């Protein structure tokens, strides 16, 4: 007798892309959460540190746009990062509505740590796929994302 959950899932669900996506994303979330938890971090922290490392200092609104994080959640995540000395917030003299957020050396070290544990989580997540299949998956997901980004520029 087959006792696995997914093999017994209703045909309707197994044929529905959005259901497959959410199931796989749940697995991914579990793995990444475990990996980041060992470094006391969350998804938003990694995204924000990545954006700051790649593009340099930025306003909170810009960070939110780049990472696809709501303005409100950017505030909360930056509070946590700043509280631990991983980023600094300073007023923008050129536009006093804005904060300029900058990543600190400690923030860059944390990012490197997260890169490592995150890589291992990806390997676990995709353990069932060949290198070719992983490439194809990334390309397909990127294509969907780009399509919707074109339909729905910024939020």
Partner DNA sequence: CAAATCTCAGCGGCACTGAAATTT
Partner DNA sequence: CAAATTTCAGTGACGCTGAGATTT
The full length of the chain comes to 155
The residue (of 61 and 145) whose beta carbon lies closer to DNA is 61
| CA 135 and chain centroid, separation | 18
Report the alpha-carbon angle 121-124-26, nearest 5.
75
The token pair that represents 155 in the structure block: 């939020």
Smallest distance, Å, CB 59 to DNA? Answer: 3
* Residue 10 interacts with, from a second copy, DNA, none (CB under 5-8 Å by kind): a second copy
Q: Which residues of this chain interact with DNA, rule CB under 7 A?
A: 22, 26, 29-30, 33, 42-44, 59-62, 64, 68-75, 78-79, 89, 95-99, 155
Residue 103: phi, psi to the nearest 5?
Answer: -85, 140
Comparison of 89 and 143: residue with beta carbon closer to a second copy:
143
C-beta separation of 99 from 59 below 8 A: yes
Helices (H), 58-130: 60-67, 71-83, 105-125
According to CB under 8 A, which one of 1, 22, 73, 97 is a site residue for a second copy? 22
Query: What does the alpha-carbon distance between residue 87 and residue 49 come to, in Å, rounded to a whole number?
Result: 8
Site for a second copy in 64-83 (CB under 8 A): 65-68
Q: Which residues contact a second copy by CB under 8 A? A: 3-29, 31-32, 43, 46-47, 50-51, 53-55, 65-68, 115, 118, 121-122, 125-129, 133-134, 136-138, 140-150, 153-155
């Amino acid at each position: 007798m087959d006792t696995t959950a997914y093999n017994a899932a209703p045909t309707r669900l197994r044929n529905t892309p959005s259901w497959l996506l959410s199931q796989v994303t749940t697995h991914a979330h579990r793995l990444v959460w475990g990996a980041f938890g060992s470094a006391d971090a969350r998804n938003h922290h990694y995204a924000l540190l990545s954006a700051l490392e790649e593009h340099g200092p930025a306003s909170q609104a810009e960070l939110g746009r780049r990472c696809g994080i709501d303005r409100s959640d950017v505030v909360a995540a930056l509070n946590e990062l700043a509280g631990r000395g991983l980023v600094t917030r300073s007023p923008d003299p050129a536009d006093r509505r804005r904060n300029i957020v900058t990543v600190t050396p400690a923030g860059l070290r944390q990012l490197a740590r997260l890169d490592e544990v995150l890589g291992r989580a990806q390997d676990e997540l995709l353990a069932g796929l060949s290198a070719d299949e992983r490439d194809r998956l990334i390309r397909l997901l990127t294509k969907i994302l780009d399509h919707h980004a074109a339909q729905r520029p910024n939020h």
